[in-house]
Amino acid sequence: MSMTSMNDAIFVHSPYLQHQLTRHPEWLSEFTASQPYSDGELVQKIVAGIVPLPDYDSVLRTVRIIRNREMVRIAYRDLQGMAELSETLQTTSDLADGLVEAAYQWCYAELCNKHGIPRSRSGEPQQMVIIGMGKLGGQELNFSSDIDMIFAFPEAGTTDGKRDLDNQTFFTRVGQRLIGVLGQTTAEGIAYRVDMRLRPFGEVGALALSFDAMEHYYETHGREWERYALIKARVMAGDKTNGAELMARLRPFVFRRYLDYGAIEQLRDMKAMINREAERRGKYLDVKLGTGGIREIEFTAQVFQLMRGGRIPELRGRSLLPTLDALLAQQLLTAEEFGVLQRAYHFLRRTENRLQMWNDEQTHSLPTTPERQACLASSMGFADWVNFEAELNRHQRAVSQIFQRVFALETQESQPMPEHPAIQALLHSRLYNTLTDTGRSRLNRLLPALLDACNALADPEQALERCLRIVQKIAPRSGYIAMLADHPNALEQFVRLVSDSLWITSQLTDHPILLDQLLDSRQLYTPLDREQLGAALRLELERIDQGDTEQVMERLRQFKQAQVLRVAAADITGVLPLMKVSDQLTWIAESVLEETQRHVWETMTAQTGVPCYQDEAGETQQAGFAIIAYGKLGGLELGYGSDLDIIFLHDSHGTAQQTNGKKTLENAVFYARFAQKIIHTLTTFTPAGRLYETDTRLRPSGASGLLVSSLNAFRLYQQEKAWVWEHQALLRARALTGSASLRAQFEQVRHDILCQPRDKEALRKEVITMRKKMWESLGSKDSNVFNLKKDFGGVTDIEFIVQFLILAHAHEHPELVRWSDNIRQIESLQQVGILPADTAEMLADAYRTLRDRIHALSLQEQETTVDGGQFAREREAVQAAWIALVEA
């Protein structure tokens, strides 16, 4: 096809383009050879062409000439297939940015000549901040769009000229003049219809507000639809440096720190209102507002932004397509859903632009005449309207299905309220009467579905009682109620887990944010491995200000609670066996300790520098620090409510032991404070609870000893002063954090201490004496009760048997001390021939069985005691092994 015939074809698709190129034929050859603008090129070109102009009329004329010329260029490149959608949207937005920036600079200079430069009370010069909203803010402006803006300025004050004005009046006049430059009708038409109704208080509000006044408005009067509108807000012109400060101040209003499920209902209500308005205007064939249209794609993406943007910075983007990328990366959309929305958005936005390029009119309605329909289909690359419409309908249906899923749109009438006594009591309670209308409506929607879900279980009354305990706690924050009401799968998981575990009931009652975990059953029942846990926690902490220790502590707690809930869910449904449950709980604690140490280290060393020392050769070395795990943490046997038994070691020695920063500290002082801060981070109660209780009494000299010991002091203590029970404890110790060198040194000390020759009979006597003291002080005195941990024949006896045998034989078989967990220690004793295979198997099986029941009791928040007749076989076998292996 010749160039002339190609031009004829696009003229058929756009009478506007034909009209403009008839008036300006010289543009055609330039556009034919055009290339995409480089980043910032168009804006700079426009500003350079307008700001130096001498008078207002020249500005009016030049703004319109530039607008017309560039719009024709955009349409030509688009219709000729020379530009991708992304270029068309970006260039259309850049054109608006350039014209607004240039017109603002000219108007600002004009008023400064009359009234002087506006200044703050401290004398700082002031510029206006121009915020682009909607598609302008998102840099995805459509071809014939209005532009939505908000005007602001940093501080109150006055101009410094003879005819001075207060800053608000000055910037109001600048804004009015700017709107006139863009929106006044002249012989060349208008540049843009300017819409300022999104500003605080709308049409009755001041045209320009100070930052303080704007922040106060959103804190005091801001509505949900304004949160939605501000997602795309962008400082597009004026003072961009101070504008960034304003956007940071408004961010907490837009993106809440908690998971905001109320956003679903708010956007659903907005969409319903839009639908009603579309019906009133007869806009059934509307690619923007109709079913499966552009607005539904935008709402689908933006509801996730409002819900989760406060916690996930990647979801705070202004443009839709990058937001879809982020939603895919965060697994909030499946790959299939992402593909549907991305392809549909491209198709619908191209269609929208082709509609508007027909006659440079802001329309989203499909044509109704055969001639216009054929032209649109042709411009979109289809042979006829039937094929185009079929493709359009396919995209709209696919978008609508995803929209329906995300917003859980009701397809049937709400169920009648059940007559169940507990539910009726809630409906007549003081709590119910204190709820907002929205809160009551959401609760009314949830309760019938909740009762149905409970009735499907074996013990519906217990399930309902536990569920209602949580519902009453979360009812005032009705976004969570909405989440359960709108997501049947989440409600099913909620009822099932709460019914099966009193511990989970308590966790969800105390920390409703955990309800978010119920939305995705695939993730709920697949806990992360050790490497994934570390990576996920680091990512969580990278998303927040590391200098905000309070927020770091909150995020650590929320992460730990969410991950433990996943383990519990997999545990009670049988997805994870006992040993894997303990591994998971241990890995979670390790990840938390690792990141806690890293955060405290970075916080402290930023002020003091790092601890250093001079070695024997006079070389300066950086001192290391390690957290050593004991007990269940050391033995990879953590339970749901386990404390963390830890000690702290460092390898500082030699001379000049001090930090190398501006605020110098002796290393001993630094490490003492360092350890204290770690313990504080772990144990302090915050609104999200406590991370872990910690016990550091296993350090050298116990509670009276130094909180942090040097490795050398630890070695000497273990060699010369430690009791046998401390060597038993050392068998379950392992290094969790620290440099490879320090960890290796600790392992060598542990190996040397545990493998030293011992008097077997003296060892036997000490172990028996210690165990008898524990039976007397900690065991149950009632023969009808069996304490699974502490009574004769329980878990502690198995641990003592294993520890006695290893300490007695490790000097002959050093491989016995390789592992810190009881099961592998039993296996090691069998492998070297100290334990017969049947005895080793019995001890391991009994250990697993008893610990499995301890886990199950923890999930029901019960003590680790059972009826005295239970586990008789295991108990008798362990007692016999104790007598044969230790007391013999």
Q: Per residue in 130-187, pLDDT tens?
A: 999 999 999 999 999 999 999 999 999 999 988 899 999 999 999 999 999 999 999 8
Residue 486: pLDDT band by 50, 70, 90 thresholds?
confident
Q: Which of 391 and 311 is assigned the larger pLDDT?
A: 391
- Say if residue 407's pLDDT is above 90: no
- Say if residue 619's pLDDT is above 50: yes
Determine the topology of domain 760-887 in CATH: Four Helix Bundle (Hemerythrin (Met), subunit A) (1.20.120)
**pLDDT number for residue 408:** 67
Q: Which of 299, 301, 307 is nearest to 326 (CA)?
A: 301
Domain with CATH 3.30.460.10 in the chain: 34-254, 542-560+573-754
Residue 280: pLDDT band by 50, 70, 90 thresholds?
low
Instruction: State the residue for tokens 């706690």.
Output: 473
CATH C-level class of 542-560+573-754: alpha beta
List % helix, strand, coil for the chain (3-state, nearest 5). Answer: 60, 10, 30
Rounded Cα distance, 227 and 223, in Å: 7
**pLDDT number for residue 188:** 87
What rounded mean pLDDT belongs to the chain? 91
Q: Provide the residue count of the chain.
A: 888
CATH code assigned to 262-407: 1.20.120.330
pLDDT in tens, 830-844: 999 999 999 999 999
Q: Which of 133-142, 510-519, 653-662, 803-812 has the lowest mean pLDDT?
A: 510-519
- Say if residue 231's pLDDT is above 80: yes
Q: How far is CA 36 from CA 200, 356, 626, in A?
A: 37, 21, 57
Q: Which of 411-415, 566-570, 796-800 has the lowest mean pLDDT?
A: 411-415
Q: Which of 58-72, 403-417, 532-546 has the lowest mean pLDDT?
A: 403-417
What residues contact residue 475 under an 8 Å CB cut-off, 6+ apart? 431, 432, 435, 439, 443, 481
Q: What is the DSSP letter of 54?
A: S
CATH C-level class of 34-254: alpha beta
pLDDT in tens, 671-729: 999 999 999 999 999 888 899 999 999 999 888 888 999 999 999 999 999 999 999 99
**pLDDT number for residue 728:** 96
Domain with CATH 1.20.120.330 in the chain: 262-407, 760-887
pLDDT in tens, 62-97: 999 999 999 999 999 999 999 999 999 999 999 999
Residue 733: pLDDT band by 50, 70, 90 thresholds?
very high
DSSP code per residue over 599-649: HHHHHHHHHH--EEEE-TTS-EEEPPEEEEEEHHHHTT---TT--EEEEEE
Question: Coil, helix or strand for 790?
Answer: coil
**pLDDT number for residue 411:** 43
**pLDDT number for residue 634:** 96
Residue 300: pLDDT band by 50, 70, 90 thresholds?
very high
User: In this structure, what token pair is assigned to residue 561?
Assistant: 């609670």
CB contact at 8 A, 50 and 62: yes
pLDDT in tens, 334-392: 999 999 999 999 999 999 999 999 999 989 999 999 999 999 999 999 999 999 999 99
* Residue 244, number of CB atoms within 10 A of its CB: 12
Q: Which of 258 and 605 is assigned the larger pLDDT?
A: 605
Q: Name the region of 525 (left: φ>0; alpha: ψ -120 to 50; beta: rest).
A: alpha
The arithmetic mean of pLDDT across residues 187-213, rounded, is: 94
**pLDDT number for residue 1:** 39
**pLDDT number for residue 410:** 46
Residue 409: pLDDT band by 50, 70, 90 thresholds?
low
